[in-house]
Each structure stands twice: as C-alpha cells, then as structure tokens.
Structure 1
Amino acid sequence: MPTFVIERTIAGIGAASAADLQAISRTSCDVLRSMGPDVHWVQSYVTGDKVYCVYNAASEQLVREHARLGGFPIDSVARVVTTIDPTTAEA
C-alpha cells in the first residue's frame, strides 16, 4: 500500500494538552474504523503550528476523505516514492 505524508496547519497545536491530542486521535481512529482497511494512520509529528502525518492508503483520495470526515485540515499530501536513512550511505 502506498505511503503518504500529510501536512496540516493547526494554529497552536504544539501547545495542545494531552487530553486535546487524545480527543483528536480518537476522532481520527473512529473515522478510520468506519472507512475500512484501505487507509491506515501510521503516526504524526506535532510541531508549533503544524502536524505532519504518515498514512498508508490505497489512494490519495482516501487520505483526503479521512480528513474531510474527521474535520482535519490538509495543506498538502505527498506520495512517498522511496525512503532513505543513515544506512543508505553504507549500501
């Protein structure tokens, strides 16, 4: 299944409480359960005013539908074509 990186602007999200982040996560998981197995949230990185999410999904459209149903903003969606890490230098 393809991997996508999603950028979301959410003002002040870096200062959100643990309870707020839990509520956002719960909403996301509830929507994902209703959508079936073709879209999966891997993890998200929270910064001051942005959230960068990693999803595995059959299509970009499913990622966008998840955002729509959950009420989450999307600034951009990019399909990952490959990954590299420090071990790539040793190959």
Structure 2
Amino acid sequence: MPKFVIEREIPGAGNLSGDELQSISQKSCAVLNELGPQVQWVHSYVTDDKIYCVYIAEDENLVRKHAQMGGFPVNSVAQVRSTIDPTTAD
C-alpha cells in the first residue's frame, strides 16, 4: 500500500503536554479502528507549529477521511515515492 506524509498546521503543537498528545493519539486510533486496516498510522513528528504524520493507506481519500472523522487539520498530503538515507550515497 502507498505511504503518505500529512502536514497538519497546529499552532503551539510543540508545547502540547504528554496528556494532550495522548488524547490526540487515542482519538486517531479510535477513528482508525472504525476505518479498518486499509489505513494505518505509522508515526508522527511534532514540531513547534506543525505535526507531520506518516500513514500507509490505499489512497489519499482514506487519509483525508481519517482527518475529517477525527477533526484533525490537513494542510497537505503527499504520497511518498521513495526514501533515501545516508546509505543511498554508498
């Protein structure tokens, strides 16, 4: 299945408490359970004012549906075409 990176603009995201991040994670997982295995959350990166999420899904529409059902912002969704790391240079 394709992998996607979702950018979510959330002012002050970097200041969210552990409890707040847990609550957001629980909401996301509850929605994922409703949607079924065709969309999976891999992990997210929290920065000062944004959260970047990595999802595996059948298509972009499922990623957007998850956000809509969970009340999460979606500023952009991009399909990952390939990955590189330092070993790519070898």
Q: Which TM bucket (shorter chain)?
A: over 0.9
1:69 & 1:35 partners in 2: Cα distance?
A: 10
CA drift at 1:88: 0.5
Residue 2 (structure 1) aligns with: 2
1:71 & 1:26 partners in 2: Cα distance?
A: 13
Q: Which consecutive aligned stretches of 4+ in structure 1 deviate over 2 angstroms post-superposition?
A: none
TM-score by length of 2: 0.99
**Structure 2 gap ranges (5+):** none
| SS of alignment partner, residue 48 of structure 2 | coil
TM-score by length of 1: 0.98
1:80 & 1:42 partners in 2: Cα distance?
A: 13
Residue 84 (structure 1) aligns with: 84
The CA RMSD measured in Å over matched residues stands at 0.4
1:11 & 1:85 partners in 2: Cα distance?
A: 30
**Structure 1 gap ranges (5+):** none
Deviations 1:5-39 (A, max 9, x none): 00000011100100000000000000000000000
* Aligned residue pairs, count: 90
